[in-house]
Amino acid sequence: MGFAAVARVTDEKWIACEVRDEISFGLKPGEELLLKTTICNEIRESGDAVVINHVAQDKRFSHHHTPAMYGFQSYISVPITRRDGTFFGTLCAIDPEPRIIDTPEVSGLFTLFADLISFHMDFSDRLDSSMHDLEKQR
C-alpha cells in the first residue's frame, strides 16, 4: 500500500497523526481531510473495519465518492479503540492500484497494529499520570 496513516477521527474532524506516503498523496501529519469525504467517518459510526481489494469491482464502494475523490483502488481501515472503549480513530491505507488485502493475514496484521497503537497511547497516558502523581508528592 502506497499510503498509510494513523488518523484521529472525531464527529467533526479527520486529522492525520502519522503518515507514510510513497505515492505522493501529499498529506502530512497534522493536516486534515474533510470528514464527510472519508470512509473513516463511516468506520467511526459503525466500529467495523473496511477492506477493499479493488474498488471498481466492489459492490459497496464502486460508486462511492471517496475512492473517486482520492484516486485509490485498494483500501483498508481498521478502528483504533482505546482501553476504555472509546473510539480514537483509524489505521488506514490506500493504493492507486488494486491489491489483494482482504485476507485474514492482512486484516489481522492491521488489527494487531491498531491494538498496539491503542496500547501505546494508554501506556503513555498512564505514565504521564504516574509522573504527575510523583511530582505532586515531592
Q: What is the pTM of this model?
A: 0.85
**pLDDT higher than threshold 90 for residue 62:** yes
Give the model's pLDDT for residue 47. Answer: 92
Report the run of H or E that residue 52 belongs to, with start and end.
strand 50-52
If phi > 0 it is left, if psi is from -120 to 50 it is alpha, else beta; for residue 37 that is: alpha
Q: Is residue 136 very low, low, confident or very high in pLDDT (cuts 50, 70, 90)? A: confident
Class at the top of the CATH hierarchy for domain 3-137:
alpha beta
Check if the beta carbon of residue 91 is closer than 8 Å to that of residue 78: yes
Distance from the first to the final alpha carbon of the chain: 49
Check if the beta carbon of residue 25 is closer than 8 Å to that of residue 4: no
Give the model's pLDDT for residue 112. Answer: 96
Give the model's pLDDT for residue 52. Answer: 97
pLDDT, average across residues 86-103: 96
List, for residues 104-135, the tens digit of each pLDDT value. Answer: 999 999 999 999 999 988 866 665 666 666 67
Kindly compute the dihedral angle of the four CA atoms of residues 60, 66, 68, 70, in this order, to the nearest 10 degrees. Answer: -140
Give the model's pLDDT for residue 137. Answer: 74
Give the model's pLDDT for residue 133. Answer: 63
List, for residues 22-45, the tens digit of each pLDDT value. Answer: 999 999 999 999 999 999 989 999
